[in-house]
Amino acid sequence: MLLNEDLQYLKRIDLKQENISSYDRFPLNLPVIKNFQQIVFHPNVTYIVGENGMGKSTLLEAIAIGLGFNPEGGTLNFNFSSYDSHSDLHEYIRLAKGPYRPKDSFFFRAESYYNLATNIEELDREGFGGRIVDSFGGTSLHELSHGESFFATFIHRFSEEGLYILDEPEAALSPLRQMSMLARIHELANAGSQFIISTHSPIIMAYPNAKIIELTEEGLQEKRLEDTGHYKIMKQFFENRDRMLHHLLDDRNED
């Protein structure tokens, strides 16, 4: 069953502007915060997109920490730290939750996924309870390719009625796997799951009827897929590849 506005797990995010005395330091100096507007999440799938440096990953990290996740990813039960690099943005945001709690939840972070896989190996070697890796398909995540390891999480670990925060899940996925991930998102959304996804991939952000919020220097704006910067650049490249390569490569040779 698709979630609606009455049933969704995470409704919106606001900024605690009364707690901010200056926007001159990181992460408060990020464009997403300096020009913040309330974000209302779609009941099923919300995308946070934009160029590097706009604050997408920092915002998703703050949302995840605000929900109780480990900054490096995993379920709410993971508690490890390979390198303490997360910001304090979670202290300046306010999350509005729905009346129902998800049955499952996961913070997927491509940047620190290797650390998560390593922690799973360490916990399973200690032998407390059942093997954690069994819920990821049963094969060591380090023995799979990077892309296969990512996809094993999406296929085996994610389940119905879940809340999933995904930061750049396409990082290790081929275009074909990205399309397969869309099918998996659709399957889980129809089973009562909610997704909040940061991505650079026009394929990943193509899920029908999803909300796409693009971050720019000017602030946040809801966009159609075709109006996002990522889609326009990819479309322009493939429709005018020779011309773009001429400008990119020949101009550099002249320098």
pLDDT of residue 128 exceeding 80: no
214 and 89 within one domain? yes
Phi-psi region of 155 (alpha: psi -120 to 50; beta: other; left: phi over 0): alpha
Residue 140 lies in a domain: no
| Residue 24, both tokens | 């001159």
The arithmetic mean of pLDDT across residues 104-120, rounded, is 91
Percent of the chain residues past pLDDT 90, beyond the cut: 71
The whole-angstrom separation of Cα 28 and Cα 25 is 6
Same domain, 35 and 94: yes
Mean residue pLDDT across the chain: 91
Asked if 206 and 251 sit in the same domain, the reply is no
**Running DSSP on this structure, what letter comes out for residue 31?**
H
Compute the average pLDDT of residues 97-120.
92
In this structure, is residue 130 part of a structural domain?
A: no
Please indicate whether residue 81 or residue 91 has the higher confidence score (pLDDT): 91
Q: What is the pLDDT of residue 34?
A: 87
Q: Is the peptide bond before 27 cis (omega within 30 degrees of 0)?
A: yes
pTM of the model: 0.92
Across the range 154-183, mean pLDDT stands at: 95
Q: How many Å apart are CA 248 and CA 250, to the nearest integer?
A: 6
Residue 210 lies in a domain: yes
Same domain for 246 and 209? no
pLDDT number for residue 127? 78
Look at 11-20, 50-59, 124-133 and tell me which has the smallest mean pLDDT.
124-133
Measured CA to CA, the distance from residue 233 to residue 60 in angstroms comes to 24
Q: What is the pLDDT of residue 251?
A: 59
Task: Tell me the three state secondary structure of residue 19.
Answer: helix
pLDDT-derived band at 223 (thresholds 50, 70, 90) equals very high
pLDDT digit string, tens, across residues 18-68: 989 899 999 999 988 988 889 999 999 999 999 998 989 999 999 999 999
**Is 88 a residue whose pLDDT tops 80?**
yes
Same domain, 201 and 246: no
Mark whether 43 and 103 lie in a shared domain: yes
183 or 218: whose pLDDT is higher? 183
Cα separation, 20 vs 1, in Å, equals: 40
Q: What is the pLDDT of residue 1?
A: 87
